[in-house]
Structure 1
Amino acid sequence: MTTDLGPGDYPLSVNRQDLLRTPTGKPLSALTMDAVVAGEITAEDLRIAPETLQLQATLAESVHRRQLAQNLRRAAELTAVPDAEVLAMYNALRPRASSRDQLITIAENLESKYHAPVCGALVREAAEVYERRDLLAREEDR
């Protein structure tokens, strides 16, 4: 994957279409109405590929949008996590929804099972912040 992207490459779908592929490996140019009608395009082809999100992160960094780049890197990692688990994590991250141990378990699962260290670090940070701000689940909240 190239890291030589800059503001002139945005939007990738116009200026660097050669870099974009579906999660199944099809080039972006293969996503046509004729291909849909012929049954050559599946729902998986319409999802965003983690590589595309990483490219978008590189573009964001090139214009000094570091927070956006981090968000895109987390999104790239989350493409490997089943939707139901993403929703469960989202609910677990609500204030007072989880204990510190539960959040650390989520972080460890992200890091080990899904190879998502950026997401894992965010959940660990949330556990620390929730603890400092008294936002962890209490016994009476469970």
Structure 2
Amino acid sequence: MSRDNRLYAAWVIALIATLGSLYFSNILGFKPCVLCWYQRVAMYPLAVILGIGALRGDLSARVYALPLAGVGAVIALIQNLEDWGLIPVLKACTADATTVACDIPWPLWGGGALAGLNTILTIPVLSMTAFILIIGLLSWRRNRSI
């Protein structure tokens, strides 16, 4: 077994992202859109896989975690590109009777001095940041001990 702080850091990021998404939807009442659900499908298992890998010192957990993080990052990127108006909104992202549109800007910071962050630090930006950090931590080259 080998302890690796990067694996622990990736786990903490996945855990914070998982708990944050649950807080946004279950406490604040934000309804997740289709792309948000897909990102959750990628993030929630990361919290478990990386947690077990970190606690066991099993660096091979990266093999399972990197593809999930990669898929989640691509989905988050697509959602951000839609939000920024760089690509057209996907048909699956338009609202109907059972779903929420993917381009609804949920206010994270309320009013006051931090209100300007609502247009910069959106939930999709936070998600993409978490996935990219996890990918970076898991991809960081390790020195092999002799």
- Scaled by the length of structure 2, the TM-score of the pair is 0.30
Greater radius of gyration (CA)? 1
Q: Which has the higher contact order (CA 8 A, sep 6+)?
A: 2
